[in-house]
Amino acid sequence: MKSLLLSLFSLISAAAAAAELQTTGAGIEISAGSLGSFVLTYPEFDPGSKQIEVKAAGAGATVRYDSGAECSVKINQGEIDLAFKGVPSGVKSWKMSVLIDIGFAKGGAWKIADKEGAFPAEKSTPPQFASLNATSFLLKNAQGQSLSFTTPDFAFQQLTDNREWNWAIYNWFFMVPFNADNPSAKIRVTSDLASVTKLIDSFGQSIKDTFPNKLKSLEELKADVASDKAYYNSIETPRLDRFGGLPGSGDTLGLKKTGFFHVEQKQGKSWLVDPDGNAFFHLGICGFAPSDDYTYVKGREGIYEWLPKAEGEYASAFRAGDGDAHFSFYLANTIRKFGVPYDYETHATRMIERVRKWGFNSIGAFSPTPDKAHVKADFPYVTSLPINAWEGVPRIPGAHEVWDPYDAGTAQKIAENMARELPAHAGDPLLIGYFIVNEPRYDELPRVIPSLTGGQACKLRLVEALKSKYQTIEAYNVAWQAKAATFDELTGIGLAVATDAAKADVKAFVGEFIETYFAQIEKIFRQHDANHMLIGSRLQPVTINDEQLCRIMGRHLDVVSYNYYTFGVDTAALKRFHEWTGNKPMMLSEFFWASPKDSGLIGGREVSSQQERGLAYRNYVEQSAALGFVIGIEWFTLIDQATTGRWFSKYNGESYNTGLVSVADRPWKDMLAEMMKTNHTIYDLLLGKRPPYAWDDPRFHVQEK
């Protein structure tokens, strides 16, 4: 769930400032202060040539392609100079593109040559809302801050709404005819960042938007204490065991009581079993502690009607350790509402009582390790292995969230982290299991590993494998259609994977890589915790749809976790992944729907109302649970994301209606009313006492293939 471009709500000083440009592995990064960061991709050729190597250093970069083409990039005071060489004779044109955050829909505008308009709040039909020949493009946010591009002559430009393809983002590209007689081009980037406009009210809500749940005054906020009490007291909940499992189901189904969460196969189904031996369906919530509600405020203070100082009454609403950089309006509202500073234990106690009323029974990813409140309430949780990049485990450049299992230093750091952290929780009955990492892009490995040039261990191992297979460099050159002088030469250059033999070699090596990776993790994990489950890597759709990966994962995991964002549930695909993994149980570990129309937020997988968010949830959870191998879900998240974007992305943060509660600590009651219909009767569904809910909305139908 991740944006590449600006948070619409941004501010800098009253003076205009120039955007800063630098080359990176992904493209030319354009840093425009609080306007945000943009990435202009390196040239792509038509007919296509794949990039096999990027060497970037500050103001310059060299990009190599599998066709033998090369592009040299030089940056000087807002100008980007491109020089091409070795471009095949059949190339007709080249293009570059920029992704533009969906936040522009809240007051942003664009202009291409003499044509201009507003970024559409509703999905554009057709998705191409601007297509014309032009050499200038300007985008502007609600404050009037702008970024402009001047492209080469004879360019064709197009601006599209990618919501047509279920991606809440805009895309701009320009295409230029390739001229072999003049293989160079210039692009100019300018910015105007002077505008200042109030956009956010004192409660952290959009000033311009109105919606039913919007908080209007401090008096309303304080009055919510009494109305909340009446609301929660009115909710009737089913009888469950102390963990949230179904009482007596252990005896009925013949499940084992082990004192820990585990999975069993009974009656042709996978069952998650709680420590008391009862059936338990994991109804988790990601982000149980305040997180995505923090926003980056430095440099754009003028857009807010109110910001307190980082010391004093609202000190606990600022993110600890970050000074006055990251502020949570949600926490400020709870401080005003309840009259006490924020502390996690009080927050957790309050939230456990609430979410249990709504039928949720556990804490999902991106949440703290439980302490007093969770233990006192017997409230289960999941967590992640201590192997993040900030915990000293480096990632492979270009492969998101994937480390190098062949690197001895990395393996040692993983072993040290797990030896230090895991034993303390090995006896915890509330712990369901450990995720490995979040959304690693294993699918990028076939492209990334051959392109590495920095002496990475996995690239050296690939070259060793090629040398072992082909024996002579001449045999390798024939198979790969290469011109290498020695095998040693291959370690420092990007390799073009163009032939069938090359593709087969890379696929085989990626299989070896994945097997080494998961075997390494499983072995170290089992050394320190024999009681809990290894519950996978929260894969994305683009990653999990790989039979080789699934078969390898299935040999090493207890549960496969899948961050499945969708409208209609593709049960055929879920069954296919399940079979590929050797019939391992599955957890759908991240999803949500948002309703921009009645939340004051923008983006995400959109539906038309809060009730529709709940209907989408019912359809998703029940259609999945009825398959017999999905043992749990995790809704993303407990609290809505900040109106000005989540903190760690600075000015580029997502600002989606993800929460069960708003920034004003108000539950989205119409959504929750529908969710409770599923959560309170989930065990009736699992035991076959009622059919799964199926929403008749056409968007939520999937044609079986």
Provide the pLDDT for residue 287. 96
Question: What is the three-class DSSP state of 241?
Answer: coil
Q: d(Cα 555, Cα 573) in Å, to the nearest integer?
A: 20
- Mean predicted lDDT score pLDDT of the chain: 94
Q: What is the mean pLDDT of residues 102-119?
A: 92
Give CATH for domain 252-385+422-440+537-700.
Answer: 3.20.20.80
Q: What is the mean pLDDT of residues 466-482?
A: 98
Burial (CB < 10 A; 0-12, 13-18, 19+), residue 682, is: buried
Residues 6+ apart with CB under 8 A from 537: 435, 436, 437, 438, 439, 440, 442, 553, 561
Structure-token match 């949440």, residue found: 367
**Residue 573 to residues 260, 337, 442, 548, 569, Cα–Cα distance (Å):** 31, 46, 19, 15, 9
Token output for 106 = 């809240």
What is the signed CA dihedral for 517, 522, 525, 530, rounded to 10 degrees? Answer: 180
Provide the pLDDT for residue 4. 31
At residue 1 the predicted structure's pLDDT band, cuts being 50, 70 and 90, is very low
Q: What angle do CA 227, 674, 682 make, to 5 degrees?
A: 115
344 touches 291 (CB < 8 A): no
The one-letter amino acid code at 558 reads D
Q: Is the pLDDT of residue 369 over 90?
A: no
Structure-token match 């993110």, residue found: 319
Mean pLDDT lowest for which of 11-20, 68-77, 334-343, 541-550?
A: 11-20
Helix (H) or strand (E) holding 95: strand 93-101
Q: What is the mean pLDDT of residues 412-434?
A: 97
**Residue limits of CATH 3.20.20.80 in the chain:** 252-385+422-440+537-700
Tell me which long-range contacts 493-498 makes (C-beta under 8 A, separation of at least 24).
493/53, 493/453, 494/52, 494/53, 494/64, 494/450, 494/451, 494/452, 494/453, 495/52, 495/450, 495/451, 496/50, 496/52, 496/66, 496/450, 497/52, 497/66, 497/446, 497/447, 497/450, 498/66
Token output for 628 = 């017999």
Q: What does the DSSP 8-state code read for residue 318?
A: B
501 touches 479 (CB < 8 A): yes
422 touches 462 (CB < 8 A): no
Token output for 256 = 């084992």
Provide the pLDDT for residue 514. 98
Residue pLDDT, tens place only, 645-683: 999 999 888 999 999 999 999 999 999 999 999 999 999
609 touches 595 (CB < 8 A): yes
Q: Is the pLDDT of residue 262 over 90?
A: yes
Q: What is the mean pLDDT of residues 537-545?
A: 98
Question: What is the three-class DSSP state of 510?
Answer: helix
pTM of the model: 0.92
Provide the pLDDT for residue 3. 38
Chain-centre distance for alpha carbon 396: 18
Token output for 21 = 């440009």
Closest CA to 482 of 464, 460, 466, 465: 466
Mean pLDDT lowest for which of 193-207, 277-291, 652-666, 675-689?
A: 193-207
Q: Is the pLDDT of residue 603 over 90?
A: no
Residue pLDDT, tens place only, 507-534: 999 999 999 999 999 999 999 999 999 9
Chain-centre distance for alpha carbon 400: 11
Q: Is the pLDDT of residue 14 over 70?
A: no
Provide the pLDDT for residue 104. 87
Q: d(Cα 599, Cα 667) in Å, to the nearest integer?
A: 11
Residue pLDDT, tens place only, 128-175: 999 999 999 999 988 888 999 999 999 999 999 998 988 889 999 999
Q: Is the pLDDT of residue 256 over 70?
A: yes
Provide the pLDDT for residue 556. 98
Closest CA to 182 of 157, 158, 154: 154
Q: d(Cα 634, Cα 380) in Å, to the nearest integer?
A: 13
53 pairs with which residues across the strands? 64
User: First vs last Cα of the chain: how many Å apart?
Assistant: 27
